[in-house]
Amino acid sequence: MGHVANEITPFLKARRAALDPAALGLRDGLVRRRVRGLRREEVAQLAGVSVD
C-alpha cells in the first residue's frame, strides 16, 4: 500500500493547490495559509465526509 500512497499523495496535493478557497465560499480565517489551495479539512467539509 505504500507504493500507492507514494503515487497518490502528489496528485492530491496538486488538486488541492489548484482550488481557490474563496471561489468555493470558504473564508481564509484568522490563520494564514502556508500553501495555496484547500486544507484537507476543507476538502472533507465540502465533500460531506469526516477527515478521519
Q: What is the pTM of this model?
A: 0.60
Tens of pLDDT along 3-34?
Answer: 777 888 899 889 988 988 888 888 766 567 77
The single residue listed with the C-alpha cell 465533500 is 47
3: which residues sit within 8 A by CB, 6+ positions away? none
Which phi and psi angles does 51 have, rounded to 5°? -65, -35
pLDDT (average), residues 30-48:
82
Whole-number pLDDT of residue 2:
67
What whole-number distance in Å separates Cα of residue 7 and Cα of residue 15? 13
Whole-number pLDDT of residue 12:
87
Of 32, 19, 26, 23, the C-alpha closest to 45 is 26
